[in-house]
Structure formats: C-alpha cells, structure tokens
Chains A and B, each alone.
Chain A
Amino acid sequence: MQPVLEWQAGTVTAIRPETKQTKSFTFALPKWMAHRPGQHYDVRLTAPDGYRTERSYSIASPPERVGELDLTVELIPDGEVSPYLHDVLMLGDQLELRGPIGGYFVWDVAIGGPLLLVGGGSGVVPLMAMLRHRAAQHATLPARLLCSSRTADDVIYRDELDGLARGDPAFEVFYTFTREPPAGWTGYRRRIDGAMLGEVIKPFGKRARVYVCGPTLLVEAVANALVQMELPIEQIRTERFGPTGA
C-alpha cells in the first residue's frame, strides 16, 4: 500500500525567477518521497478567517534530487494562489503541500521512448521534470521537445533546454512562437498544427510516446492531430492546464 496522502509543511529554500510571469520555488519537505516525473503537488492556503483554497502545481525537479523539490508557478494576476506565491512568499516561509499526486501523466526511463514532449506555455514544467530525470539517468533514448510560447521571453528553462540539446545528440528541442518571434528567427512561428507535429515526430514514427501539456485548446488540437496520424491512443498522454494554468 502506498502511504496516505497528507498535508505537510514545506519550507521555501530558494526562489528563482524563470520568466516575467513564472518563478520556481524550492521546498524542503520533512516527509519527502521520490515522485514520478509528471506528477504534481497540491498547495493549500488558509486565510485568517478559515477560508481555504487549493491549486495543483507540477513538479519541475527530477526525483533524483532527494529531500526537496521545485514547483514552477505561472503568475495568474487575478488568481487566488499564484499572486500569493509570487508576491508574498519569502525564503524560510512554510507552505502546506501534499503529494506527489497522479499516475496517469507520468514518464520515467523504464517506460522508454522514443519520447516526444509537447508543451504550451507553463505546460513545459512537468515535461522538464521528465527531461531532467532522463538526463540524471544518462539515458540515451531519443527525445524531442516541441515548445510553444508567445515570445522568446516567455520560454521557461530556455538556457537549460538549449544546454541539454547541445550536450546530448539524442535530444532535440524545437520552439514555436505564436505572437512575436525573435528578430531573425527562422524556425516555427505559428500555433502547433498537424504539419508541424508531423515534422517533429517524423524520425520516431508511430513508435513515439507522446506527452502533451498546456492550455486545454492546445492539448485538444495536438491530441486530435496525433489521432489523425494514427498514433496508437495508448501512447498519448495529455494534461490540460485550463485557460491560464492551474
């Protein structure tokens, strides 16, 4: 039996801005347990009057990092939880967390590849946990990431992704910019569509294991395109973030 899911107080040990809208928070957990890449934690806030609210945030760090974990959180300006995390939470503060949660949208090297990851906006966060895990395991299975962002400034983990791709011939990253590509950009500059997916998935063919995470409409579009390509449905895993992230 797995242990019962319970709330615990995580202590903030690092806060790192990733983009203008996203920050990564490192939490040390007294009852840390190894997660599977793709899982999330629930965060609970309690107001002085007893009002409580919860949100789910994907784990960005790999399970190889013992005792602590990173959650990367997108700021939703009119949200209930993310503005507190972004603007109020400080180093040394404690926060109620429970997890790791989920068994559907998970991948580890035992599941294998070839691996195609498709992320929109902050949907890249759980995919990053998969890529960091793959790197920590020195896995050589082929992997590709297709990452959709509005502008170059909105790409989370850009330097790390580019570094991974430079140092690993089995991993490639593809960016597409939907609003404003950087000057001189010769790559994709549109929303992900069937033609783009077909190009990125080509070397993997129908053997690809695909994980898609992002806003609901992106996930729907990608999943439908993959089904039209006759990729076996059991090789496709999706996670919808809703309109603006969890």
Chain B
Amino acid sequence: MDNDEGDMNSALMVDGNAVAGQLEQIFGRDMTMTVARCAGCARDAEMGALLAFIRGPGVVLRCPACQNAIARIVETPTAIYLEARGAAYLRMVPQE
C-alpha cells in the first residue's frame, strides 16, 4: 500500500511495539502484553497495541479506541519522565 493518503499525523503513527525497548528499559520487563485501561473511556488494550507517536521530542501513547493520551515519556540527559495520568491502571502479570 502506498502512503500518500491520510493526514500526516496518522501517517506518522506507529504502535506500542515501536517503544517496547524503551518501556523495557524503564520497567525492567516486557511491557507490550501489559494491559492499560484508558482513564478516559475505560477500554483495555495491550501496550503493544496502543497508538504511538514517536517522532517528537518525546513519546506519546494513545488509546486505540478514544485517542486519549495514556502516557507520555520524555528522556532528558539526566532523567526519564513518565507521565501516565491517562491510564486508570496497568495490569502486569508476574513473569517467571
């Protein structure tokens, strides 16, 4: 499929899989199967299936149902900021 249709913002969108390495660095485990509940519409989605906008200075993860911003991640030279007030919760299943 060609890419010459749709607006620029949606064309630049990827998904949570694209930031799986960054998330794993922060949480110390794979997060793509972790379920995030949207604080806006209460829909559950695996973090790998969240809409991801990664071409800015930081990362924005959005709900695939209502586009609410679930989380934002910004890395500075000295720290990582993770803001996640768009998530009601994250559900992590213990790993072996």
**A interface residues with partner B (beta carbon < 8 Å):** 1-2, 4-5, 40, 42, 54, 56, 98-99, 101-105, 120-121, 148, 150, 178-179, 191-192, 214-218, 220-221, 238-244, 246
Return chain B residues, CB-CB under 8 Å to A246. Answer: 14, 18
- Cβ–Cβ contact B16 & A243, under 8 A: no
- Cβ–Cβ contact B17 & A98, under 8 A: no
Residue of B nearest to A222 (CB): B1
Can you spell out 22 A-B residue pairs with CB atoms less than 8 angstroms apart?
A2-B95, A5-B21, A5-B25, A42-B21, A54-B21, A56-B21, A98-B21, A102-B17, A103-B20, A103-B30, A104-B32, A104-B48, A121-B1, A179-B2, A215-B1, A216-B14, A217-B1, A220-B10, A238-B15, A238-B49, A241-B14, A246-B14
- Cβ–Cβ contact A217 & B6, under 8 A: yes
- Cβ–Cβ contact A120 & B1, under 8 A: yes
Instruction: Report how far A42 CA is from B18 CA in the complex, Å.
Output: 9
Known: A215-B1, A217-B6. 14 other contacts (CB 8 A): A2-B30, A5-B25, A56-B18, A102-B32, A102-B48, A104-B49, A121-B1, A148-B1, A179-B2, A215-B3, A216-B13, A217-B1, A239-B17, A240-B14
- Cβ–Cβ contact B2 & A178, under 8 A: yes
- Cβ–Cβ contact B48 & A105, under 8 A: yes
Return chain B residues, CB-CB under 8 Å to A221. Answer: 1
Interface footprint category on B: 20 to 34
Instruction: Report how far A1 CA is from B29 CA in the complex, Å.
Output: 8
- Cβ–Cβ contact A101 & B11, under 8 A: no
B24 to A: closest C-beta gap in Å = 5
B79 on interface, CB distance cutoff 8 Å: no
- Cβ–Cβ contact A99 & B48, under 8 A: no
Return chain A residues, CB-CB under 8 Å to B49. Answer: 104, 238
Which residues 6-40 in B have Cβ within 8 Å of A in the complex? 6, 10-18, 20-21, 24-25, 28-30, 32-33
Residue of B nearest to A219 (CB): B15
Instruction: Report how far A220 CA is from B49 CA in the complex, Å.
Output: 12
- Cβ–Cβ contact B3 & A101, under 8 A: no
Considering the complex of A and B, which 5 residue pairs feature the smallest CB-CB distances, nearest first? A104-B48, A104-B32, A218-B1, A42-B21, A103-B30
